[in-house]
Amino acid sequence: MFTRLTISELKLLAREPVAAFFSLLFPTVLVVILGSIPAFREPSPDLGGLRVVDVYVGIAVALTLAMLGLQVTPLALATYRERGILRRLATTPARPELLLAAQLAAALATAILSSALAIAVGRLAFDVPLAGNLVGFVLAFVLTALGIFAIGLFVAAVAPSGKAGNSIGTLLFFPLMFFAGLWTPREVMPSVLQKIGDFTPLGAGERALHETMTGHWPALVSVTVLVGYLAVFGFAAARLFRWS
């Protein structure tokens, strides 16, 4: 039942060309574009001797999670409620909660695939080293995913319609991705912005991903912040989610 629902959600996502492109391929495209600029393949003292392309692989992973968690998931779930799909499920032996779980599982599977692709292309095309601390990296990935998906669920819980869910998600996406360093890597941000960023879900997520890619363990503050987002927004989403 759950497997079938998850596969069904994956199929439906694959049939949305724009969403599928942005969540699955765009992070890799970003790495390829930045990696094609010669200057970005030179070690930069501002980045502690790393190259811009090295840093952007981690940012690309955060970007994937942000698009899936903040845009794809709230749109899908709020649309399901708006169209009575959750209510219909409530009349069958499948609980509507199962559809939520399947949607999250499908988003997570897509995120893993998309991240793996960006990392592999970074490694093969531009010699971006694989995560120095693999266990730490997986931990950082999972925590960032949980934190950002909890926020996405919360948006889906309070959004009155699919359109509204998507708009709120997009509104959150830009400032949160700013702190993750999509436009300016976190590492070269003024320290005030870095400090603020540390307490945003994607800022903390990107920092944890970056630190584990360079062989360290994620900072305690990043882990605490991500677990905090998961707890607060996960709880609020569970309390506020309307099925019809």
Q: What is the binding site for another protein (CB under 8 A)?
A: 1, 4-5, 8, 11-12, 15-16, 79-80, 83-85, 87-88, 90-94, 244
Q: How far is CA 156 from the centre of its chain?
A: 16
Which residues have CB under 8 Å from 168's CB, separation 6+? 74, 155, 158, 159
Q: Which of 141, 5, 133, 1 is nearest to 60 (CA)?
A: 141
The minimum distance between CB 111 and another protein, in angstroms, equals 21
CB 23 to another protein: min, Å: 16
- Residue closer to another protein by CB (options 83, 195) is 83
Closest distance between another protein and the C-beta of residue 155, in Å? 19
CB 153 within 8 A of CB 77: yes
Judged by beta carbon, residue 9 or residue 211, the one nearer another protein is 9
Q: Name the DSSP class of 41.
A: G
> Is 51 in a helix, a strand, or coil?
strand
What's the DSSP call for residue 182? S
Specify the residue, 8 or 44, whose C-beta has the smaller distance to another protein.
8
Identify which of residues 84 and 129 has a Cβ nearer to another protein in the complex: 84
- CB 102, min distance to another protein, A: 10
Enumerate the β-bridge partners of residue 43: 51
